[in-house]
Structure 1
Amino acid sequence: METGSKMHMKEWLIVQIESGIYEGLCWEDEEKTMFRIPWKHAAKKDYKQTADAALFKAWAVYKGKHREGRDKADPTMWKTRLRCALNKSPDFQEVPERNQLDITEPYKVYLIVQDGGQAKPTESHQTKDQVTIPVKRSSMNPGSLEKQFHCEKESFQASKEERKLLTDDLMREHLYCELNENKPQSQGSTPIPFLSPTLTITDFRMQVSLIYHGQKVMQVFTKSPDGCFILQGCVPVGNEQIYGPCTAQQLPFPSPSSVPLPLCKAEAMNRLLCHLERGVLIWVAPDGVFIKRFCQGRVYWSGPLAPRSDKPNKLEREKTFKLLDSTTFLNELQSCLQGRGPSPSYEIELCFGEEYPDPNIPKAKKLIMAQVVPLFAVDLLQKFKVSEMEEKWTNLSTDPGEEEM
Structure 2
Amino acid sequence: MQSHPKPQFASWLIKQVETGQYSGLRYVGPNRFRVPWKHNSRKDCNDEDGKIFKAWAVASGKISDFPKDKARWKTNFRCALNNLHERFKLIADNSKNTDDPHKIYEIIIPESLQMQSSQEDYDPDIYSSPTEYFPSGCDVCSHTFTSFTKSIKTYIVVVLLEQSNPAAVPNYPGVLAPANNIEIIPEPNIYYEPPPTHPPQVPTINDLEISIFYRKREMLKTNVTCQHLQLHYPQETQEPSVHALCFPSTDGLTDHKQIHYTNRILDSIQRGLTLKVQEDGIYAYRHDRCHVFASTSDQTVAHPNPQKLPLNTMTQLLSFGNYLNELKNFEDNSGRSPEYTIYMCFGEKFPDGKPLDRKLIVVKVVPLACRYFHEQAQLKGASSLHSSNISLQTSYNSLMELINTYIGLPTAEEPDLTPLMTSQSQY
Scaled to the shorter chain, the TM-score interval is: 0.3 to 0.5
The structure whose Rg is larger is: 2
The TM-score normalised by the length of structure 2 is 0.40
The TM-score normalised by the length of structure 1 is 0.42
